Amino acid sequence: MVAVGSGVPRLRWTTTTGGTLRDVRAATIVDNRLAVAAHPDPQPGAGEVLVRVHGAGINGADLLQVRGLYPAPPGSPQDIPGMELAGEVVALGRSATRFRAGDRVMAVVGGGGQAELAVVHERLLMRVPDGVDWAQAGGFPETFTTAHDALFTQASLRMGERVLIHGAAGGVGIAGVELAHLAGAHVCASVRSQRLRPDVARLGANLVIAPDEFTTHGPFDVILELVGAPNLAGNLEALALCGRIVVIGIGAGARAEIDLGVLMGKRGLLMASTLRARSLEEKAVCARRIEAEVLPALADGRLSVPIAATYSLEDVQGAYDRFAAGDKLGKVVLEVVPALP
């Protein structure tokens, strides 16, 4: 838990269970593929915490980053993917006071989560509720924070409102369905895979539909767009008066025609966002909101984190292949077991 061996250029961290990590292994992007490679130990700076990672979910942005299409923001490792992690605190940087060694924590991070050790600013960390295992905790932060921010902070979804979630069987989609249901909204979920529709209904969707039929089920007060521009015209058509469209996924395309006259008539809002490029303080505000509004429901079981599959760090390429193949319900999570000396 403290640095060992003065004069040694690289720090060594003793885990709470007594072992020492010497070479930190991390998922590493090499030629648009993934391998496991040794990296210098990350060192917590002021206000930062060193976390021994136990679970780290895979997200769409990781896939884009591996393919060279989405560079990590400044300050995050460029070659170690991973936008979320869960693990235990093993060391504190200067002036870090929120946690103690051994605390179970999780966070959205700018990158570098898929490794044995990661440095995270303490303001981004959330406590993992008792009873939530490492796979669930490692697969929770990114999708639930993204969905919560889009539905509630941005679109101000309220109980009784009708929400349409496009791409509802994906990671953010599932989180959106669960959160909107929990908040008392009426949830319509658009899901391409017929096979997965009953699962999405079980997670809280009042109505699960095929992607091409959503305009007949409106009007919707809030539309969470996780697919892209091809839905825009239909979204405008299906939007309720004073409705809000939130775009946070554009995998199917970014450009579309928009009729501003229709938007005026609906008095509508079209908003779009990403989480990753935000400042530390903005991300910290998101974390505080999740702690206050969402973690109680994760703790008592009203929210679940469906896990499609877990993989060891060594099989990171297999995990990404599984993630990219789609047609799954729930997260693909790396379970990181430390190689003790």
The yes or no reply on residue 280 touching a copy of itself (CB under 8 A) is: no
- Please say whether the beta carbons of 23 and 341 come within 8 A: no
Instruction: Show contacts with a copy of itself in window 235-254 (CB under 8 A).
Output: 247-248, 250, 254
Nearer to a copy of itself, 61 or 106 (CB): 61
Nearer to a copy of itself, 271 or 340 (CB): 271
Centre a 10 Å sphere on the Cβ of residue 2 and count the other Cβ atoms it contains.
11
The yes or no reply on residue 267 touching a copy of itself (CB under 8 A) is: yes
Residue type, 70: Y
Among 35, 38, 46, 271, binds a copy of itself (CB under 8 A): 271
Could you tell me the sign of the dihedral formed by the alpha carbons of 107, 110, 114, 117, in that order? Answer: negative
Nearer to a copy of itself, 240 or 339 (CB): 240
Q: Name the nearest CA neighbour of 156 among 74, 244, 43.
A: 244
Among 270, 319, 329, 333, binds a copy of itself (CB under 8 A): 270
- Please say whether the beta carbons of 54 and 136 come within 8 A: no
Q: What SS3 class is residue 38?
A: strand
Nearer to a copy of itself, 32 or 274 (CB): 274
Token couple for 103: 């605390």
Q: What is the dihedral of CA 69, 73, 79, 80, to 10 degrees?
A: -110
How many residues touch a copy of itself under the rule CB under 8 A: the total is 29
The yes or no reply on residue 255 touching a copy of itself (CB under 8 A) is: yes
The yes or no reply on residue 227 touching a copy of itself (CB under 8 A) is: no
Token couple for 182: 């929990």
Provide, rounded to whole angstroms, the least separation between the CB of residue 26 and a copy of itself. 28
| Site residues (vs a copy of itself, CB under 8 A) | 228-229, 232, 247-248, 250, 254-274, 277-278
